[in-house]
Amino acid sequence: MPFEGTRPIVCWFRRDLRVRDNPALFHAASAGLPVIPLFVVDTELIKGIRSDGAAFDFQAESLRDLADSIAGLGGRLIVRTGRLTEVFSKIISEVQPRSVYFNRDYEPTAIDRDIEAVKFIERFGIEVKSFDDVVIHHPEDIRTSSGGPYAVFTPFAVKWRKLPKPAPLGRPSRFSTPRLASEPIPGGNELPRAKLVLKPLVRGGERDATDQWNSFLKERLRSYTDTRDLPYMQGTSMMSPYLRFGCISPVRMYSDLVELSPGTDNHPSDSDEKYVSELIWREFYIHVLYHYPYTAERNFRGQFDRLNWSMDERTFEAWKEGRTGFPLVDAGMRQLNATGWMHNRARMVTASFLAKDLFIDWRYGAEYFATKLLDIEKASNVGGWQWSASTGVDPTPLRIFNPAIQSRRFDAEGIYIKEWVPELRNVPSRYIHEPDRMSPILQKETGVVAGRDYPSPIVDHRKAAAYFKSQFIMAKAGRLTSKSPRRD
């Protein structure tokens, strides 16, 4: 049956689940035509996503909040499930849209998907418009003096800071949505996807993102530089899951920082620069993956392909479950498994431990993080893991974190450790970082006998670090012409 009425614009939502500062929605609503806000539950895409059911619940919460916000603008969110091309084919046959608008995504698989989707839609003579989103600066906009992409953070950050920043677009105009069938918003149970993360740390949605952001700006930003590395304090912004699902835009976040604490030349003041640096790190990793898509699966620096990673299932399971005998590592992994989030300092320590103490390929760790983290972004996950394994961009100097030293420095009293490893709650602060060093008498008194009540360390850190360093130096120098023998 032919569609009767003005041909509408389809606004295709993906990882931009908000109405405020949403370029595709803003421009679609500004056209003065009916708008179909469409979210596709892409069955093919979901097959390749290994996220815990909690991540899909977060997405469902975000979609329900989005639906409410769209209703407040006079429209209606339309949800359809199926293969992407089949869904678009049906929508096109139902309403003969004038245009399809969407915000770009810069991950390699998303780029490939979008190219195919645009080709398919344009076959029907339908205009397609895409807009910058996800980052403040498109990966093509930041180039070296020779025109190439950056592979080192510091010069990238210098160039990033010099570029003029776009202003947030605000809320879109009111619009109407044609009467169309819509399906229920699915969560983890409906897809179905097992939910093993039982206590998600945050709830999805633009309103929750805004509340969390405003709370950080008001209560924690001023102390961010001093508290961001302390895992026992709520010193971070907790905005990464909201950025991952697009419940808030980085453009808006940067604009808020400038407005709250203006510096010279429309830049944040020094007190906010540390937080801005984290936004730049996120965009740097997106930039690297965009220009070097092979890094999603392979080392950035090919000489490290010769590293003969081991894979001991027993120690890998101990790492995943937080049973390594290294309290800070175990606390981080248990926090991840329970909440779908891990403090950034703990992420660096746990990642370093897997690659450099257990000598297990970083890709196994990245894959496990991808199953648990609510804030999983492929670029940040891959970039962070390659940084931790010293196989990625700018891997010098060689960094090998000593878990006990990191623990003493950033969780001196063991507050974070005791929260997530409660069997250590009676261990004195002097020994909380290495409980196996307690005397046998003190172990019995505290109820923490090494190897019985809490695991003994599964590896000798000093020996493991020395081995990794030797392998790294040989690989970097090109002296590993074939894979080296595995260590005992």
| 309 flagged as catalytic | yes
| 281 flagged as catalytic | yes
In angstroms, the CA 429 to CA 411 distance is 10
> What DSSP string runs through 274-326?
HHHHHHHHHHHHHHHHHH-GGGGTS-SSGGGGG---B--HHHHHHHHHT-SS-
Which positions ≥6 away from 419 have C-beta within 8 Å? 232, 331
From 94, 82, 93, 84, select the one nearest 117 (Cα to Cα): 84
Residue length, the chain? Answer: 488
Which positions ≥6 away from 482 have C-beta within 8 Å? 306
Q: Tell me where in the chain the CATH 1.25.40.80 domain(s) lie.
A: 135-168+207-291
Q: Tell me where in the chain the CATH 1.10.579.10 domain(s) lie.
A: 302-476
Per-residue pLDDT reduced to its tens digit, 242-283: 999 999 999 999 999 998 875 555 566 566 889 999 999 999
What are the respective helix, strand and coil percentages of the chain, to the nearest 5?
50, 5, 45
Q: Is 412:429 a contact under the CB 8 Å cutoff? A: yes
H/E stretch holding 161 = helix 153-162
In angstroms, the CA 435 to CA 189 distance is 40
| 426 flagged as catalytic | no
> What DSSP string runs through 74-135?
T---EEEEE-HHHHHHHHHHHH--SEEEEE---SHHHHHHHHHHHHHHHTTT-EEEEE--SS
Q: How many CB atoms lie within 10 A of CB 276?
A: 18
User: Which position among 309, 402, 419, 423 bears the catalytic label?
Assistant: 309
- CATH class of the region 9-132: alpha beta
Per-residue pLDDT reduced to its tens digit, 330-389: 999 999 999 999 999 999 999 999 999 999 999 999 999 999 999 999 999 999 999 999
CATH architecture of 302-476: Orthogonal Bundle (1.10)
| 160 flagged as catalytic | no
- Return left, alpha or beta for 87; rule: phi > 0 is left, psi -120 to 50 is alpha, else beta: alpha
135-168+207-291 folds as 1.25.40
Find where tokens 């990882």 sit.
15
> What DSSP string runs through 256-286?
HHHHHSB-GGG-B-HHHHHHHHHHHHHHHHH
Full-model pTM: 0.94
User: Which position among 94, 273, 278, 423 bears the catalytic label?
Assistant: 278
User: Which position among 86, 281, 402, 423 bears the catalytic label?
Assistant: 281
Please report the pLDDT score of residue 410 as a whole number: 98
User: Which position among 344, 402, 419, 423 bears the catalytic label?
Assistant: 344
From 385, 371, 369, 355, select the one nearest 289 (Cα to Cα): 385
| 385 flagged as catalytic | yes
Query: Could you list the pLDDT tens digit for every one of the 488 residues in the chain?
Result: 445 568 999 999 999 999 999 999 999 999 999 999 999 999 999 998 999 999 999 999 999 999 999 999 999 999 999 999 999 999 999 999 999 999 999 999 999 999 999 999 999 999 999 999 999 999 999 999 999 999 999 999 999 999 999 999 989 999 999 999 999 999 999 999 999 999 999 999 999 999 999 999 999 999 999 999 999 999 999 999 999 999 999 999 999 999 887 555 556 656 688 999 999 999 999 999 999 999 999 999 999 999 999 989 999 999 999 999 999 999 999 999 999 999 999 999 999 999 999 999 999 999 999 999 999 999 999 999 999 999 999 777 799 999 999 999 999 999 999 999 999 999 999 999 999 999 999 999 999 999 999 999 999 999 999 999 999 999 988 887 655 444 44
The alpha carbon dihedral of 436, 414, 405, 355 has a sign of positive
User: Which position among 12, 160, 213, 385 bears the catalytic label?
Assistant: 385
Q: Listing from the earlier edge strand, what are the strands of the sheet with 9-13? A: 78-82, 35-42, 9-13, 99-103, 127-131
Find where tokens 């606004």 sit.
11
| 420 flagged as catalytic | no
Q: Tell me where in the chain the CATH 3.40.50.620 domain(s) lie.
A: 9-132
- Strands 9-13, 35-42: pairing kind: parallel
Please report the pLDDT score of residue 488 as a whole number: 41
Instruction: Tell me the sheet residues that pair with 450.
Output: 454
User: Which position among 12, 160, 362, 387 bears the catalytic label?
Assistant: 362
Instruction: Write out the two tokens for 122.
Output: 């344009």
| Torsion of Cα atoms, 438 then 440 then 441 then 446, to 10° | 60
Whole-number CA gyration radius for the chain: 24
Q: Is 289:108 a contact under the CB 8 Å cutoff? A: yes
Find where tokens 């929508």 sit.
91
Tell me the one-letter amino acid at 303. Answer: Q
